[in-house]
Amino acid sequence: MLERTDLPERVDIKDVSPRDGLQAEPKVLSIDERVRLVDSLTAVGVPHIEVTSFVSPKWLPQMAGAEEVMSRIERKPGVTYAVLVPNPKGAERALSTQPDELTVFVSASETHNYKNVHRSISESLAGFHRIGEMARGEGVPVTAVIVTSFGCPYEGRVPVNAVLDLAVRLESMGIADITLGDTVGVANPLQVAEMVHAFAMNAPTIRLGLHFHDNRGTALANLLAGVISGCTRFETALGGIGGSPFSPGAGGNLATEDAVYCLQEMGVKTGIDLDRLLGVTKRLEGAIGHNVPSRLYKAGGRMVPVGIEGTFNE
């Protein structure tokens, strides 16, 4: 039987809606709206925010103006403002904006990595060496996301050992904060528990995080499996928006408010004001122009504060 003592006192939530969330939206939000989204997440206590991605606007117009977004957000002490970089050129652009963290990404499967970035896994890792050198010169830590860690749309289930080996290669390059992404939402709770246990046994110095998409309704169960297994770092997205336009079948992220509600109801702290967070969800829904997948927001499990209307463009 699960006891309260089996759970951590606190879990760190990194909200990725300004990047992973908005990159899949057909409507391109203005820079003003994106800045207000980040500032709103800061204001309600989100401790870790993925602000933007320094990719070419040709590929992702949703991320255009990344430098201006970074220059205009209101930074709060104690909050980590991270940015995603695809290559050394993106890292150079990103470092000019003084981020708290650079994030690189690589697929656990060769086919997906090539489809995603037109490089082999080894070629991606070679690029990370240069990014690491650049970041160290500026005193900025580098973290990594291993996407398709639980399953690939082209190759099927990815072996645990393949993910472990890739993570160890990243750690040897000085990247010890590594998040495993269930990019197309195929993971199940037992698989998640086995993965977390494998890392604890074979790569205990890696600071592991988990990132779930909710294609098949298992994202929250997977988060709980991760928590019970000892993981305390998770990436989620406000409203449950998101997905990769380069990954067939990718659905929305686990909603930040759904995760926070469940964790807090079990007595696990996140530092996030849930009632105010739901108000931010309401504004996000108005900004993107369609309903968000968040179950808590739809259910009204916690009342949305009266008087919060409109969009981030007001």
CA dihedral over 281, 285, 291, 292, signed as positive or negative? negative
**pLDDT value for 6:** 81
**pLDDT value for 304:** 47
**Which residues are registered as beta bridge partners of 236?**
15
pLDDT tens-digit series, residues 196-219: 999 999 999 999 999 999 999 999
**pLDDT value for 307:** 56
Give the residue-averaged pLDDT of 159-181. 97
Q: What is the mean pLDDT of the chain?
A: 93
pTM exceeds 0.85 for this model: yes
pLDDT tens-digit series, residues 260-309: 999 999 999 999 999 999 999 999 999 999 999 999 999 875 544 555 55
Write down the domain spans for the chain.
6-299
Tell me whether strands 80-84 and 101-107 are parallel, antiparallel or unpaired: parallel
- Pick among 3.40.50.2300, 3.40.50.620, 2.30.110.10, 3.20.20.70: CATH of 6-299: 3.20.20.70
User: Could you give the count of Cα atoms lying within 13 Å of 65 in the half-sphere of its Cβ?
Assistant: 14
CA distance 209 to 144: 10
CA distance 86 to 82: 13
CA distance 276 to 303: 10
